[in-house]
Every structure is written in C-alpha cells, then in structure tokens.
Amino acid sequence: MAQAGRFCADGRSVCRATLVLTAVLLVSGGLTACDASKPTANPDPVRIGALYPLTGRSSPSGTGMAAAAKLAVAEANAEGGVLGRKIQLEISDDACDPGSAVTGANTLVGKRIAASVGGYCSSATVPTLKIFHTAGVPMIIPSANSTDLLAPAYKDVFLLSGTTTDEARFALQAIQRSGARRLSVISDGTSYSAALAAASVAPPALGGTGVSVAGRLTVSQGAPSYRRIADDVRSSGADAVYYTGYYADAAQLVSDLRDAGYRGKIFVADGCIDGDLLQRLTPEQSEGIYGTALQVPSFVPAAANWAARFKKANGSPPGQNTMEAYDAVRLALDAIKRAGSTDPAKVRDAIAGTTDLRMLTGPVRFKPDGSRDTPTFLLLRASNGQFGLTS
C-alpha cells in the first residue's frame, strides 16, 4: 500500500506487481490517497480585505478600526467561520494618502479577497473604487462618506455611515437649535471635508433653518497657523463656525480662533471626534465645542457588551469608527453566508438585498445608490476636556 501511494504521489516507475496491485485498489475504491472526490481537509480561508490609515496623522483612527475588524473576524472564526471555512483578514495601510491607497488596493486584489471592508479618509478611498470595481470586489465602506464615493455610480459600493449630505443636514439642524444665525464653514480641501462643506451651505441643509452663510473658507493642512482664517471669521460677523476637516488641524484652528477673540460657537465634524483634539486645547479653549459624530460606543448603551469585549481584547475602550468597522466585517460575512458563495457578484447582490439586518450601529438597509437608508449621527459637546452626549 505504501509503494502504491508513492506511485500516486511522485509518478516514479514501480514493478509490474505493484502496478497490478494499484489497479486492483483503484477499482475497488481502496486507494483513497488519490481520490479527488474527497473534500480537502484544510480548505483555503475566505479572505476579506481592508485599507486603514495605520501610519500618518490619522493612524489613531485606523488602528482602532483595524482592532475592531480583527475582533469581528476572531469571533466569527470561533463560531466556525463562514461556509465551513476560516476567515482571514488582509489589511493594508493607506495612511490616508491616495497613492498609498492605490498601492494597497492592488495588493488586496492580488490576494483574491471576497470583499473590501475598509475606508476611513474619503480622499484615499475614492481612487481605490475603480480598482476594486474592475476586479469585481464589492466594497462596504465603514467610515468614509463623501458623496464623491457615489459619483461613479458603481453598483458595488456601499456606505455604512450615510453621506456628507446626511451629516450636513444633521449639523444645520443642530446649529439652528443652538441659536446661531450666521455661519462660517471651513474645510481642509480633502474630498470628505470639501463635500461636507459644500453640502452645509446648500439649500437642502440650510432650507428652513433661518441660518445664513457668513463665509466659506479653506485651511491648508499642516500649516503652523490659521490666524488669517480666524481674523476673516471674526470680521464676517459669524456667530457659529462649522469645521468639516480632520482633528489633526482642528486644534490649531480652534486655538487661533479663540486667540483672535472669536467667542462664537464652534462645531466640528465627525473627522474631529476620534482623536486628540481636546487634549491639545486648554480647558477654556475646548469648552463648548460641539461635534457632529458617528456612533461613539460609550454613548450607545446597546453596545456596552461589545465595548467590554473590545476592551478585553485590546486593553483600551473602542472609539469612534470602531463600531462601523466591526459592522462592515459582519455585513460582509453575512452576505457571503446568504449568497452561499464567495463569488463577488453574488456577494454584491446579497449586500444590496440586505433588509433591516440588525447590527451594532442599528438596522442596515441600502438605497439604490449604495448609501445607507437611515444613518445615525450624534451631537456631542465638550466640557472639562471631554466630549459628552447632548440631551
């Protein structure tokens, strides 16, 4: 039997008697070592890929998102994986940089992933759309929400966090309730920030609020001072500012606004919440800053059990964007299970057909354009160096 097995494995010549024995075993079904009809003992894992900023100024957010995605995969594997196979998460660093993102996307496509579940910075995510689309890979984007992501009208793009249009409408309603009437909107020029700024001064968001636009300005990322911007805001008569960029530049802008004597309300968008914004400001500077945010686990009672699991696995509590990153993985695995296949077209159809799937961030359903049907935003307010949920 051992000699017959060697014949099957390496094809070397053997004696005539062994050939006869091999033929007998094949006919009788006794030679199982070469039986191609048997299932593979260790099937290849189901691979899903993700691009996160693991380096650069947004790395704190990307690191948290990666940890959440890994937790989702670990929990799914502990429950048996999907389609009887283990799940393998492939992560590439996009550094919130378009060039790095393109390189990372091509790397993930080369690993034959069944779905992409990453995307934090819209400016880095937009150039990856065509790469994943051409490869037929469906994209569940957890955090990036610029309307630029929907512009190509690809049917395999799904935004878990709604769109900048949704956030702008939420922000203007909050600004109206605050009593502000003249608004200065400031962006950092990136895809997400510029799209949110544009939506914030457009009629759909402004309409019926009684808020007028005092000015629209753009900062240069990484500049050592924004004093000119601050002076322009003060001279415009604005009683509220909405900064739509990321936290890396927000602290400098807020400091310069306060130093210039601006005492109006300051609102910041979700890209400012998950970072060190408040730690870089004095208590006086940070007091009363408002933030329009995605779902923050510490303010979502239904996520308490999950937050405890995250902290146990990572040694620190989850921040903003982590719930969305976790849900992106779960949604991808649920779609693969419902499709009964890792075929990209079938997985895409399963995602599109999702109906009120209950997840950490709430029920999930997508509009025909790929945006989430009922996105949720929170309004936060800073006090004593920390953000808290407004009533």
DSSP 61-84: HHHHHHHHHHHHHHHHHHTT-BTT
Residue in this structure with the two tokens 């399963």, named with its chain if needed:
350
For the chain, the C-alpha Rg in angstroms (whole number) is 26
pLDDT score, position 86: 98
B/e letters for 60-97, b = 16+ CB within 10 Å, e = fewer, are bbbbbbbbbbbbbbeebbeeebbeebbbbbbbbbbbbb
One-letter amino acid of 251? A
N-to-C CA span, the chain:
77
Domain architecture of the chain: domains with CATH: 1-38 (no CATH), 46-161+302-360 (3.40.50.2300), 165-293+378-389 (3.40.50.2300)
Residue 221 in this model has a pLDDT that exceeds 50: yes
* pLDDT average, residue stretch 353-363: 91
C-beta atoms surrounding 334 within 10 Å = 19
Closest to 168 in 3D by CA, of 212, 217, 201: 201
Alpha carbon of 170 to those of 165, 181, 257, 289: distances in Å? Answer: 9, 16, 24, 16
d(Cα 104, Cα 324) in Å, to the nearest integer?
21
> Are residues 297 and 307 in contact, defined by beta-carbon separation less than 8 angstroms?
yes
Whether the pLDDT of residue 385 is over 50: the answer is yes
Mean pLDDT of all residues belonging to the chain: 89
Ranges of beta strands (E only) in the chain are 46-52, 87-93, 139-141, 157-159, 182-187, 212-218, 240-243, 265-268, 290-293, 357-359, 362-364, 378-383, 386-389
Q: How far apart are CA 383 and CA 371, in angstroms?
A: 33
What per-residue confidence (pLDDT) applies to 28? 38
pTM of the model: 0.86
Q: Which of 88-97, 100-109, 274-283 has the lowest mean pLDDT?
A: 274-283
Residues 6+ apart with CB under 8 A from 293: 270, 273, 320, 377, 378, 379, 380, 387
- φ, ψ of residue 146 in degrees (nearest 5): -65, 145
Tokens 């429950």, located at residue: 79
Share of the chain above pLDDT 90, in %: 82
Q: Are 197 and 186 in contact (CB under 8 A)?
A: yes
**CA–CA distance, 382 with 282 (Å, rounded to integer):** 12
Higher-confidence residue of 12 and 250: namely 250
Confidence of residue 35 (pLDDT cuts 50, 70, 90): very low
pLDDT tens per residue, range 76-102: 999 999 999 999 999 999 999 999 999
Q: Percent of the chain at pLDDT above 70?
A: 89
In one-letter notation, the amino acid at residue 98 is P
Give the integer Cα–Cα distance in Å for 21 and 312.
59
Residue 303 dihedral angles phi and psi, to the nearest 5°: -95, 5
pLDDT of 23 strictly over 80: no
CA 94 – CA 81 distance, rounded (Å): 27
